[in-house]
Amino acid sequence: MTAPNDKAAPAPAANFIKNIVEADLAAGKHAQRHWAGQPGTAADHAAAPLDAAKLRTRFPPEPNGYLHFGHAKSILLNFGLAQQYGGRCHLRFDDTNPEKEDQEYVDSIIDAVKWLGCSWEKDGETNLYYASNYFDWMLQCAEALIAAGHAYVDSQSADEMRANRGTLTQPGKNSPFRDRSVAENIDLFKRMQAGEFADGAHILRAKIDMAAPNINLRDPAIYRIRHATHHNTGDKYCVYPMYTFAHPIEDALENITHSICTLEFEDQRPFYDWLLGRLAEAGLLQRPLPQQIEFSRLNLTYVVLSKRKLIQLVDEKHVNGWDDPRMPTLVGARRRGYSADGFRLFMERVGVTKNDSLIDYVLFEDAMREVMNESDQRRIAVLDPVKLIIDNYPEGQVEECHAPNHPLHPELGQRSIPFSRELWIEGEDFMEVPSKGFRRLFPGNMARLRYGYVVECTGCDKDENGKVVAVHCTYLPETKSGTPGADSVKVKGNLHWVSVDHAYTAEIRLYERLFKVPAPGARREGDAPELERNFLDDMNTDSAQTITAQLESSLRDARPEERFQFERHGYFVADRVDSKPGAPVFNRAVTLKDSWGKAGA
């Protein structure tokens, strides 16, 4: 059974960044330096020779958590552009905050990027970098800013700095330490590096304009004291650069041509340009400098992509860890059975714009269905089993029925399915008193056992509570599928089944959306203005169900992460964590068609 496809697939959406890249490459705007993270000093960068213009992008995650669906958009955009235009994409860890970063996150990010099918290696270049490997260069850059009068050491407390920063309508106030001499600033900064001061005692700030309309230009902090062990550099440093200071320098040192980021960084672009401009004036960087380009982040219904909220879900045990298949993390998506190709198709359809929009989760699931329908082999699973006894079939007899592995790909051949006197069928396929339009089994009605015979229902057995425990029928021997008599009897119902004696009894996990409303935590119409809703109140308590099902015997040998379409039910994957050899556990990735709205959830 295949998913219905009664409408044409949408064309790929617009991508304005491609237009920028193509124009820049045609104009030779960006020249590539023979540099990209090679050993040396920051000043060496300015002397490196230039080659013909080439594209270099980067994906720069902070290793302080697991990647989510929004990161997939950035990953596929940056690596996709580099691949399309013969350039390079770097994987760079912006590890400037030792208190929140961990090697666990580094490893998970590497794994997630690889899973999406992206590679940072090309033509002998590894292109895997860490901001922490540039810390010595960043210190040189900071000292150059001090020497040029563009930075100073501030000794205000955090509360004083906050009070003097101003507001969106009121300018800030100059720090009383803003006019320290270059010599005093250099001395204090050296002593900060030597570990003479406690955390928070001093901070290095850029000297720009405390009255700037853009608050990010009001003497932003560029270095702070942190006596903390770093996952990569250990205890070598006790001052660490701020992300907004480190990031532009990393881009420049790696020859990044297009620094692509989400819209929340748009207000930071003036500082990005200011910083690189001052360092180029000081002779530390060579022009042309990288350009920052912003695009709208991915926003999905029924999902939260806030790192803070995801951490809360994990820490408070509302989910079973970062890889819970209901989580919108890439490790969770992989475990659930979502396809990396499905992510790629979805991102192509969403496109890249500067307009914030909320994308319906149905579009994401449709992309997954389309890819899986094409790629996944078919198997049979009975999720709500009730026994079907064929009273006129010989006891002990077993024969083979044949089913295609994939109806769209006959080259994949067929598989054998054992047929016997007692079969498992779905409980919903029998009604003792049929409702209007019911075409499956009820006393006196005939239906086809898919890939097998036409049978006629004769009745059922019930337990003491009136529950149906077995359905009885007789079969028509001349009607086996694939034989000349298969069409001799016309029926409207078609049932899937597995042999009782040959079935694999398996644990199946049925997953739904983690939240029951499109915008978790958002105020609703009619809410009091002062009401603050907790996004946890919108969790779907029925988002996970575990059942015991009867599966086609061949599924016993399914390997972890091997995915199938279970006919009539959807796309399922052998769990990559809990599956054991000969005993796979299956997760439902997505149903055959959208049933969420119809369920009234």
Q: Which amino acids are annotated catalytic? A: 62, 297, 307
Q: CB-based burial of residue 290 (10 Å sphere; 0-12 exposed, 13-18 middle, 19+ buried)?
A: buried
∠ CA(420), CA(552), CA(478), 5° rounding? 35
Q: For residue 389, report the phi and psi dihedrals to the nearest 5 degrees.
A: -105, 120
Angle CA 104–110–114, to nearest 5: 145
Separation CA 557–CA 583 (nearest Å): 7
DSSP 57-102: EEE---SSS--BHHHHHHHHHHHHHHHHTT-EEEEEE----TTT--
The two tokens of residue 307 are 């790192």
Give every CB contact of residue 30 below 8 A, 6+ residues apart in sequence: 24, 53, 54, 55, 56, 257, 258, 288
Supply the DSSP symbol for 537: G
Q: Which H/E stretch holds residue 385?
A: strand 385-390
Give the chain's largest Cα–Cα span. 101
CA–CA distances in Å: residue 168 to residues 179, 212, 220, 282: 25, 10, 15, 32
Residue with tokens 């915008």: 519
Q: Collapsing DSSP states into helix, strand and coil, what is residue 174?
A: coil
- Count the residues in the chain: 601
Cβ atoms of 575 and 440 within 8 Å: the answer is: no
The answer to whether the Cα torsion of 374, 375, 380, 383 is positive or negative is: negative
Helices (H), 222-360: 243-253, 269-281, 307-315, 330-336, 340-350
Tell me the Ramachandran region of residue 413: left when phi exceeds 0, alpha when psi lies from -120 to 50, beta otherwise: left
